[in-house]
Amino acid sequence: MFVVTLKFSANKARASALMEGHNAWIKQGFDDGIFLLTGSLQQSAGGAVLAHNTSRADLEMRLQQDPFVVGGVVSADILEIAPGRTDDRLAFLGA
pLDDT at 35: 98
Rounded to two decimals, what is the model's pTM?
Answer: 0.91
Q: What are 40-91's pLDDT values in tens digits?
A: 999 889 999 999 999 999 999 999 999 999 999 999 999 999 988 888 888 8
pLDDT at 95: 52
DSSP 85: S
d(CA 9, CA 83): 30
For residue 2, the cross-strand partners are 51, 80
pLDDT at 66: 98
> Coil, strand, or helix at residue 82?
coil
Q: What are 13-51's pLDDT values in tens digits?
A: 999 999 999 999 999 999 999 999 999 999 889 999 999
